[in-house]
Amino acid sequence: MPADDLKDWPHLLKAFDEGVATGLHRGLQIYISQHGQLLLEAALGEAESGLPLTSEHRMLWLSSGKPLLVLIFARIWERGLIGIDQPICHWIEEFGTHGKETITFRHVLTHTGGFRVLDLGWETKSWPDVIELICRTSLENDWVVGVTAGYHTISSWFILAEALSRATGLSVRELFDQELRYPLGLPELSIGLSEEWYIENRSSVAPMYARIKGELQLLDWHQPPRAICISPGSNTRGRARDLGAVYEMILKEGVAADGSRYLHPTTIAALTARHRVGLFDLTLQHIVDFGLGFIINSKAYGPETVPYSYGLWTSPRTFGHGGSQSSIGFCDPESGIVVTWATNGMPGEGWHQRRNRALQHAIGLDLFERFPQLNTGAST
């Protein structure tokens, strides 16, 4: 089957079309593979009015890109430069104030640290100013570090990147290049486009829309300054197949596409095991389990209510991460299925969760009908 032949994915196409009709998005970029074998790579709809979205557009992944920095952390952890239970203030002395002294890398990766600064203004501030703002922030009231749970949308990944930068002596861009893009052969991934790249390739940067008063309104996030600012947990861009390749490496227990060893199997197992279990998340307003930087399948706590669900058809071992109101990437090691998709519409949390469940269910149905041996459970 040609990878772009959507006649074999009728449920997916229907779910996408319903989203367009409802005003949730204009376009969708998607990648699906099994054990590294391509099942689907496609782009549906429009990037802008009258301009088709393609599989080459650099989509905004938002927090779906958070696992990228986790992998960089894991490489440095493997080398013994940092410790999982080492306090962050060992590397960022000024962070260890106002009750944050005991926060460790583990707490950051499991979102139990307690410094959910929501308005950082990173799009207009310098990197040092953002770090200073986070360091001056007090531990949240009634927060028990390592026990209280609340997803940190942006702040913790800035601190994680800064700590890794100080531990290695590399800038954040150098870290991303040397520890992820180059060794994995994924030059199209970014945590903030370089100004030079943007000038030459701006037409391939997919715009993002927000649903305001029932209509999709174009945001300016595909333009400077935001497009070229570094935000390691929220400004990641790339193609669906790029993020798919990352999950395929994880599925292969740390072996990159070229056969080189990127991470050890024991490290991969540690990242994707359940470390935070059964805790109610104050941000997500639901019980959600976490590995080290990865969200572990939490459908057991409410298959129709868990936010950023991987679908009813996925196994309990499925891990991945969603991006605010727009995207997701995950891997089911039981079936070997990797799924990454990004829309260009942010319709609000409620609408997105309904859309996400519809798309995941549609993917499961199409997979089951084409590959009954997968036993996805989506047929019921």
Render pLDDT for 5-55 as a digit per residue (tens, 0 to 9).
Answer: 788 999 999 999 999 999 999 999 999 999 999 999 999 999 999 999 999
- Angstrom CA distances, 333 to 71, 140, 268, stand at 18, 36, 12
Q: Which residues contact 306 (CB under 8 A, 6 or more apart)?
A: 286, 287, 288, 298, 299
How many other β-carbons are positioned within 10 Å of the β-carbon of residue 126? 10
Sign for the pseudo-dihedral over CA of 242, 38, 303, 27: positive
Handedness of CA 92, 234, 280, 292 (dihedral sign): negative
- Tell me the percentage of the chain whose pLDDT exceeds 70: 97
Q: How many Cβ atoms are within 10 Å of 178's Cβ, its own excluded? A: 14
Task: Give tens-digit pLDDT for 142-174.
Answer: 999 999 999 999 999 999 999 999 999 999 999
Which residues have C-beta within 8 Å of that of residue 169, sequence separation ≥ 6?
none
253-299 tens-digit pLDDT:
999 999 999 999 999 999 999 999 999 999 999 999 999 999 999 99
Residue 150: the pLDDT is: 99
Q: Is the pLDDT of residue 329 over 80?
A: yes
State yes or no: pLDDT of 95 exceeds 70. Answer: yes
User: Which CATH superfamily includes the segment(s) 59-70+174-327?
Assistant: DD-peptidase/beta-lactamase superfamily (3.40.710.10)
Q: Please list the residues that pair with 58 across neighbouring strands.
A: 205
Going from N- to C-terminal start, the domains of the chain cover 59-70+174-327
Which residues are bridge partners to 329 per DSSP?
321, 340
Q: pLDDT band for position 378 (50/70/90)?
A: low
Q: Check whether 123 has a pLDDT greater than 90.
A: yes
Q: Pick the range with the lowest mean pLDDT from 16-25, 85-94, 112-121, 346-355.
A: 112-121
